Structure 1
Amino acid sequence: MKRLGIVCGVKAEEASLGVLLDDAGLKVGVSGASSARAEDIARELIEEHGCTSLLSYGVSGAITDALRPGDIALARAIIMGDGTRIETSRVFMPLLLDAAAHAGLVLRHVDMADASDVVSDERGKRALGRRTGAHAVDMESGAVAFVAREKGIPFTALRAISDGVEHSMPHAALGAIGPGGDIRVMTTVLRLSLRPQDLPAMIRLAAGSSRGFKSLGRCARDLVPSLLGVV
């Protein structure tokens, strides 16, 4: 049986998959925004759950002006921290492009950068974009790429952009993701109460996140089903 393994960073990304979570052709793991945990999950999906392909799925940050919140990015390659370039599997391309065309969605085919920690400010994002030539960054795709290459199975990354390159992560939002991928709401509220100057940045972050998750929902409804039972 062909089974797609999906690695997400947070539970909200997993939840966006909706009814697909009940499909026997799909298995999901949530890393809690930890690259090391994402690598472990990718291996578990293959070795324990029999997944025959891997997908890094969720929201990402833009690291150039080429992407805006709400854009949907399909990885051409993952640029690892040491500069290694891992090409994604071309077998996914016609399936996703055909599904996108039928749904009226535009896929931005770009390189994505791997990060082991949060890239929180505009200066750091732009520096990463210049160094890697990538346009988006997340903390799971590198782990998925590494394990898929090691195991010799197809993989790709499908990500919705939630924050523009000019949007810095407010201090109040740092550390908001728990190890299980849940959002620590009370921790964030407490930090915001101690740093009210972060409120405008938090509002921008929430607005971008809303656009990103709206697009991620379209991915779950219109794109991910095209991969089930095929690869």
Structure 2
Amino acid sequence: MTIAVIVGMNSEAALLPPGIPVGAAGGVTRRVTELAERLLAEGAEGLLSFGIAGGLDPALTSGNLVVGLSVQWEGETFAADAAWASRLLTAIPGARQGTIAAVSRIAATPEAKQALYQGGAAVVDMESGAMAKVCAAAGKPFAVLRAVADPAARGLPRSVFVGLAPDGSARPWAVMGALLRRPWELPGLIRVGLDSQAALAALRDAVKVVGPTLGM
């Protein structure tokens, strides 16, 4: 079965086995929808949302892996493919299961994360919701594999917001410009970088375990 992958960043796409169709949406909801529809139209029989996420459950730390059983998006809940999720959970040591909260704007504060956690979600990302909705409309299965970057109690500096282009590429010069305006954010930005590296390392290890089928 042919599957394709939706990510937010090119650095996440680089972790995937060669030859897997992938679309990087840059955290832009409209692009997620367009990419998901295109990948299905090109023959993908299922989609995987893959990448880093914000932690909502206080028990989760940077680098923890979460397999989504469902996705909350715009007042709806979309169920992930149960068999696919089960295979991912069985294959990946230490992976946890949970609900994914999808948002169109970064959940940047502990308070925003707490509100999503109270809604029953374990982690939050910006791609799973629109992707899940496209799959539901097309009658296609989907799965979610996410690694926690910033834990629930950690906020994100504003400089992070400009660091990603719509095509999923990094914008280091934009971040540098933001830091020049808000230099006090440097320690927080370094922390974000360390959290993200822990999450990407966990995803890299997970891909090695599940192989080119990505659990499908």
Would the TM-score normalized by the shorter structure come out above 0.5? yes
Distance 2:178 2:139 in 1: 44
SS in 1 for 2:154: coil
Deviation, 1:35, is 1.4
SS in 2 for 1:68: coil
* Residue 31, structure 1, aligned to residue 31, structure 2: no
Residue 115 of structure 1 pairs with residue 107 of structure 2: no
Question: In the TM superposition, what whole-angstrom CA distance separates every residue of 1:99-144 from its partner, at most 9, and x where no partner exists?
Answer: 22xxxx21110001010111111111111211x2101000100011
Q: Within 5 A, what are the aligned runs for 1:214-225?
A: 214-225=201-212
1:66 to 48, 55, 59: 59
Say how many residue pairs are matched. 216
**CA displacement 1:123-181 (0-9 Å, x = unmatched):** 11111211x21010001000111011111111110001111011111011112111111
The residue aligned with 2:74 is 81
Q: Give 1:34's aligned amino acid.
A: V
- 1:172-224 per-position Cα deviation (integer Å, ceiling 9, x unaligned): 11121111111110110121122111011112111111110100111221125
Which residue in the other structure is 1:96 paired with?
88
Give the TM-score normalised by the residue count of structure 2.
Answer: 0.95
Percent of aligned pairs with the same amino acid: 28
Aligned to 2:164: 177
Matched, 1:46 2:40: yes
The code of the aligned residue for 1:204 comes to R
Aligned residue among 190, 205, 224 for 2:192 = 205
TM-score, normalising length: structure 1: 0.89
Is residue 2:18 matched to residue 1:21?
A: yes
- Asked if the contact 1:96/1:226 (under 8 Å) is kept, the reply is no
Q: Residue 78 and residue 224 in structure 1: after superposition, are their counterparts in 2 closer, same or farther (change >3 A)?
A: farther
Cα separation, partners in 2 of 1:169 and 1:153, compared to 1, 3 Å: same
Aligned-residue RMSD, C-alpha? 1.4
Deviations 1:78-102 (A, max 9, x none): 01122x21111112034223322xx
> Where does residue 144 of structure 2 map in the other structure?
157
SS in 2 for 1:73: strand
SS in 1 for 2:203: helix
Alignment CA distance shift 1:93-1:172 (3 Å) = closer
Separation (CA, whole Å) in 1 of partners of 2:174 and 2:44: 36
Q: Distance in 1 between matches of 2:211 and 2:104?
A: 26
- Please tell me whether the aligned partners of residues 95 and 226 of structure 1 are also in contact (alpha carbons under 8 angstroms): no
For the residue of structure 2 that corresponds to 1:61, the secondary structure is: strand
Stretches of structure 2 that go unaligned for 5 or more consecutive residues are: none
Task: Tell me if structure 1 keeps the 8 A contact 2:67–2:89.
Answer: no
Unaligned runs of 5+ in 1: none
Tell me the amino acid that sits aligned with residue 18 of structure 2.
Answer: L
